[in-house]
Structure 1
Amino acid sequence: MKVRPLGDKILVKRLEAASKTASGIFLPESAKEKPQQAKVIAIGDGKLLDSGKRANFTVKKGDTIILNKWGGTEVKIDGEEYMVMSEDEVLAVVD
């Protein structure tokens, strides 16, 4: 299924949570924290400005971003978990 976000929304997929601590202890599924990094899968058309034009995105498809743990709306597409969020919820882009 192909998904196209609308307006200033982006579709992201969270990166996998760490399964082992830095000291080598394996974490059970219930102890893992939500990862705060995600990969941008798709972007919308851009925010509609007062002038009627669309603002350019500061992120692009394929970027790795840092986001809030509790931001966005989780959705399931073809059995995979994604998040739809506003570009304003993106904290940073990882280079």
Structure 2
Amino acid sequence: MATGIAKRFTPLLDRVLVQRLKPEAKTASGLFLPESAAKAPNYATVLAVGPGGRTRDGDILPMNVKVGDKVVVPEYGGMTLKFEDEEFQVFRDADIMGILNE
């Protein structure tokens, strides 16, 4: 499904389309958590990126992330989009806090 949304929505300028990772439903010891107790992590997967912002002279600024990166996003902010019962967020490139290296 995530690749389908990337084909249907193209971010402009320095915007980044992400999908947050699902919260863990089970603890390390094997206990299942109810949905109310499972806190969603601030991690997301980058699905699409815009071409980059522009300087006053019209030069394109390179993006800091690329499709497939796992990133840390702010808990609040961005714009939420809903496509076929799945939620996605759009953030500016500068709002992305970091890339997770695995």
Does the pair score TM above 0.5?
yes
- Give the Cα–Cα distance (whole angstroms) in 1 for the partners of residues 26 and 75 of structure 2: 19
Instruction: Name the structure where strand makes up a greater proportion of residues.
Output: 1
Q: Is the 8 A contact 1:5 1:44 kept in 2?
A: yes
Q: After TM superposition, which residue ranges in structure 1, 4 or more long, deviate above 3 angstroms? A: none
Unaligned runs of 5+ in 2: none
From 45, 48, 52, the counterpart of 2:51 = 45
From 61, 69, 74, the counterpart of 2:80 = 74
From 31, 49, 53, the counterpart of 2:37 = 31
Higher relative contact order (CA 8 A, sep 6+): 1
* Cα distance per residue 1:19-77 (max 9 Å; x no partner): 12234332111122122111000011211111111100010011111112213111102
From 86, 97, 101, the counterpart of 1:91 = 97
What is the identity, as a one-letter code, of the residue corresponding to 2:100?
V
Quote the residue 2:16 is aligned against. 10
How many residue pairs match? The answer is 95
* Cα distance per residue 1:69-94 (max 9 Å; x no partner): 21311110232210011111111111
- Give the Cα–Cα distance (whole angstroms) in 2 for the partners of residues 7 and 76 of structure 1: 21
Normalised by the size of structure 1, how large is the TM-score?
0.90
Equivalent position SS for 2:36: helix
What is the identity, as a one-letter code, of the residue corresponding to 1:58?
N
Quote the residue 1:65 is aligned against. 71
Q: Is the 8 A contact 2:45 2:69 kept in 1?
A: yes
